[in-house]
Structure 1
Amino acid sequence: MGVSRALGSREPADPFDIESAAVAVTDARGLIVFWSPGAERLLGHPARDVVGRPAETVLAGGDLDAAVAGLRRSGRAWHGVLAVPHHAGHTVDLALRACPLAAADGHRGWLVVACDAEQRITYDSYETLARGLLERSPLGIAVLGTEDLRWTWVNRALTEMEGHRQAGGDGTGTDAGPGDVSPLLQRHARRALVTGQPQVSLEYAPIHGADRRRRGQRRVSVRSFFPVRNSEGETLGICLVALQAVGQDSARDRLALLNEAGEHIGTTLDLGRTVQELAEVMVPRVADFVAIDVLEGVRARADPSRGTQNGEATLRRAGHLSIQEDHPEVVVEIGGATDYPPPSPQQRCLGTGRSIREDVSAATPWLLDDSERWTRLIRLGVHSHLVVPLRARGITMGVVTLLRWKNPDAFDEDDLLLVEELVARAGVCVDNARRFAREREAALMLQKSLLPPDLPRHHAVEVACRYLPTDVEAGVGGDWFDVIPLSGGRVALVVGDVIGHGLHAAASMGRLRAAVQTLADLDLPPDELLTHVDDLVVRLSEEAEAAPQGPTVVGATCVYAVYDPVARTVCVARAGHPSPAIAHLSEPVEFPDIPAGPPLGLGGLPFEAKEIVVEEGSIIALYTDGLIEASSDRDVDVGMERLCFTLAHPDRPLEEICDIMVRTLLPDRPRDDVAFLIARTHALSPDRVASWDVPADPSAVHDTRTKVDQQLSVWGLDDVAFTAELVVSELVTNAIKHAYGPISLRLIHERNLICEVSDASSTSPHLRRALTTDEGGRGLFLVAQVAQRWGTRHSTDGKTIWAELQLPEEP
């Protein structure tokens, strides 16, 4: 089948078609045995006049064998042109094809097919033209069979497009690779075969390769599939016509780049990373070099509008990127001041808030004022310059500069619109990063103000701590710790955990910490203190539920321990908090069985305290549950075993123990806020404590003063003897006059001199200013004037009034 027939186009009819051509058959004797209607039309001889007669009759005396011998031979057939007389008398040039017919006796006849020679020439010209057009066409053309939808004929153009082998020269396509039809092409061809309607496909494919200049270009393939039918309407095959071009679809590429920018820019809230992501999106697809400069206020996390309003437009380089690794166009390193001259497009863009697009040459006016930039830009051959303001929420935060030199095209309006859209998206991300940094700094400042900046040094304990919020970026949480000096040389150790994370939890934590410190100053027992804190949390929860915004639940856990260096005991109460761990020097790590108590905020439930004897040098560890629940399976037992391991050597330095706890118990990023406080206990030597029972007799005041004076002399504190005698005499006198026995006096010599007078009365004295006519009422006023601190603490069997006297510093 010819190519033109396969394609089903309307070509001239084949003149040698046996149904219309002139056909004659002769036998071995040379007699005409068949004369077709076509022969009758062509030569004018009716069949009845020539059948049975010698062929020479038609040839007008010529010899058939001699006539055939004059034709060209091709295999066993002959073909050529022969002049034959018409019945009307004129001569007709016939194009002949003759094939010998062998008989049984060895003689042969002939099958002759003829047509008008001019008709044959016309047909041959069309056949040659059609084949030439199809095979040399820049369009890809192929025919797929109807049975298996595989190639039957493929021209050279489609071979190059689809990567197949060239079809055979006869057009049969036997070399076309029957298995090379892709599933995509077969799907479209099958649809055309089933529906009988043409199918068109459009495919975009990116060009891959090392040529960066072709990045963004696409190979566009347009394919049309339609059925090929013969004159009876029978489908002979599916024709594929394909056109392929390489170019750039600007609209599609802009949309693709904007979509990529939406995914690539703003992946973090880090300002430097955000501007670098903007540069990575635009180089090299939009520009050969990009620089992002931001106002000083943006880097300082301040409001950038203040600088522009005050005329302070200091730009600093936040990021840049070039198609060349050595960045030859860079004048300012990241973080440095850009120092653009006033006429520069950067300064004009910053002042007007509008984009500026201009060509660059050696005579560009503003470059003449900046020799270093002039040298670098002209040496590189920069020819186009685009500056776009970096804006968000109506505020200009900086400028974005784009340069081209390897890209021969200057920035046009489409480039300007694209860059403005990209920069606008990045501007929101930059402003978000700036706002986040400012809020994070404020949150860290709040957290720093809520937690103790430095743990106080205390004679009774040596302390160390760690605070690790789960919100690492914000750096704030609801856990807290505290070390609070108490009267009598005692110290309170506190660790608490507020429900939730972030600023709300930190604010609640600050209120609870302040409440605990205030109640601790009242010298309340641990269980009573937690009861008061529980009442506070209940009120906070009620306020939170009534507030239109904010957390709906406020709750916390807390452990409160009071260590007494004189008695060498620690009294602990806890509210839904893990029990402290005590690492003894001579015994295994202990988790004392302290009644858990309910979490703070439930209200109406009691708390219990337990007193534990601890030897000097022991470690008391208080922690939040995030420390022991940080294991991968959140198994508390596993966490407590690891905690015991870290505390197994309490004689190590406290900071070293803290580091071991972090490495052993905490993963890289804890799932919950973690705070822990460890304290090494110190005991007060018995020779630094003196106590006496005081009779309830006014005359005992003199004897008591004498004993105090003698004890202070033993301690070498003669410099404070007069003040101490005054304080003791006033406190003892008040106890004798207003309380009831038994009365006792205790002096403690540690960092300060502590004077304590205890009695069985629960009535607390009050400081007041006595009138000039009053005979008494000045005792506590005098004590308050000479003492560094004073106060009252209550116990189950009475109260203690105490006063601390500051000792002179040792040389």
Structure 2
Amino acid sequence: MDTSNAENADPAGASQGATSVSGAGPGGRPPAFDGLAAAVLDDRGTVVGWTGTAQELTGFCADEVHGRPVRELVADLPLDPRRATQWPATGRVRLRHRCGTTIEVTFRTTRVNGSADFLVLAAPTPHVADHQHGAALLRALSAQSGITIALHDTDLTTVQTNAVPDTPDPRPVQPGARLGDVLCAEDAQSIEAVLRQVLETGIPVLGRNQHVSWRHHPVPRHALSLSAFRLEDARGRPAGVAALYMDDTDQLRARRHLDLSREVAERVGESRDIVRTAQDLADVLVPAFGDLAAVDLARAVFDGDEPGERLGGGDLHLRNAALAPATAAWPPGIQRGNLVPPLSDHPLLRRFQRGETVVYGRDDYIALIGSPQPAEQLLPHDTHAVMVAPLHARGLTLGAIVVWRTVPSDPFTADETDLMRQIASRGALAIDNARRYTREHRAAMALQQRLLPPATTDTPAAETAGVYLPTGRGAGTRGDWYDAIPLPSLRLALVAGDVIGHGIPASATMGRLRAAIQTLADLEPEPDELLTRIADLVQRLAAEAPPGDHDVMGASCLYAVYDPVTRRCAMASAGHPPPVLVRPDGSAEAVELLPGPPLAVCGMPYETTTIELEPGSVLALYTDGLVHRGAHDVGDGLGRLTDALATSCRPDRALDETGRALLADLVDEAPRDDATLLLARTRAVPGEDTAHWQIPADPAAVSDARAWATRQLTAWGLDALVITTELIVSELVTNAIRYGRPPAELRLIRHHVLVCEVTDSSSAQPRLRRARTTDEGGRGLFLVAQLAERWGCRHGQNRKTIWSEQPIACAH
């Protein structure tokens, strides 16, 4: 079989007849066959056929090798060259080049049908290895989920791809297809423009963001990362484009979910108003999560009360609190403030009542309502999917979040259900905080307690004695009061106040204010913040009172907090006279502070003043009935009080006796106003009963803190408290390092209780919760609550302190 003439034809001429073949390279041969040499041998191993590519490979033309034994061209013939039939089917040999060098090639032999001749195909071994590695790489990439590979020829026709459209009946894209056959026209044109640019310039495209939809299934759209490279033949001529599409939909969705979670954390919960909090929650969900959103709350929640438990269908006692967007064309049955209609006892409703987030379609919603006609009044137009998440907090179902998606939005996914569960949890906490805030304020206005506290108290911070003298004008008692409120960490709050008006209304207002101050004092705000909150309460009381009682809704108040460890007293005044300080040496003076407006006046801030008190000092708080005497000036009355205190407050005299004597001397027989005096003789915790340790911002500091606390308790003789204190210190210091901000400090105080305090520079509020079995954390504060007699958290300016108390008596 002599093929030398045909095979020796000019390759360029052959290419002219092959240009119409799809996928052919610029040389007329498919790019995969570039550099593939071919020769025909007879059964004696003589060359009878020689191609142009063989000439390019060896440098010998057909005339030079025709009729010569092939052994003359092979440098290392593997077998007996006398018989071509003994050649292996494939292998490697070194061919001689016309210039005197050798070329390592990989060959394959096959018998020509109907002839004794053999066809030998050969290519340089590096080229074969490249083809093998490239094919292996292509197979590996094609097998990866989330990666689509498409090889296009020079006219962008698909030569090979692993693409499978996301359609109800997915079938692989066939070779010969174009992008417009499988993608929406606009998306296909956009991608083809990119591929054409790569083909023309040779500059690759890396990680280009692209959104596409399948032509026969336009929803949902897919987010892709497109990378494209020009393919070239062995001579470096453009042969096509390789495009890699990495599905970025999940990553993009994850980023959006993260952004949504962050926005929920930032926006929801800023307001203490229940309806405002619900509206913030609805607003943040649209359009980031759905097209429409509503928040329905139990009717009891609007009043700050706890909702009752309910299972099964019927009236769920829910009322709409928020809609988003408010400008949407809501159906008549969904309007702000509307009651949620009764629902049938459907399995979806049962799942919701068990705390699950449920997703359902239009037909399910009709089944919940009971008939199609009401559903049209309660279902937004074009709705195709609804998600309902319970607002569940502290074992209470406060309401529900409802999100609608309308055509052509994507349906809800499983990970979006999980995200909604997290959003609902955070939203429920914010709404519950607003509900509890509402309840506390309502409760503060309704509290009816005893008008005055016990006359004397004895605490680690101070011993106190209070004296009250009612007016003698026959107008009935007025709203003067005093109070001594023990606080955590051995501190003591001292209060004196004076309500405007007289009689039972004034006494009732005083009782309300005193109860409210006791409630707020337990939350441990700064004095100025407490007075601000009480002022808000007085304003609301005034607004609610009958017109004839508006005059008894104003009040003045002085609030002070003394710390026997630091020996500092912080105080603020709401239009109240300043306290008088009697030092241990007998000198006395009024404390200079800047009084704010009375509690009935709004718009002006209060200011906290801090002073240091020596042990044995007496701080006198009083009402203006003690310094108003006839027509005398108030300044004169304060001077007389200061002089009397300097004379009467002797260390050997009981405080209650001193108080009674002062009132008898300073008040007229028939005073025009109530007179109240509270005396507090301060104490101090000895320096040897406190210990401080700076907490490094290093997780390894936890073990050092435990060791330091153990040494300190041993030095104090409190070995019985070592184990529990180590655990408490470990949890509180861990939280300060992990969730707080430096600087941080650990403080131990020894008295009748062992106080453990950890202070850091974060204002984040700690939360006690019960961790699940599979949780790796979340048990810290729960453990502290079990080990300590009591614990809590107080906030200062740019800091917070978490404290715990353990009774020392039980340790002996």
TM-score (norm 1): 0.43
Q: Which has the larger radius of gyration?
A: 1
TM-score (norm 2): 0.43
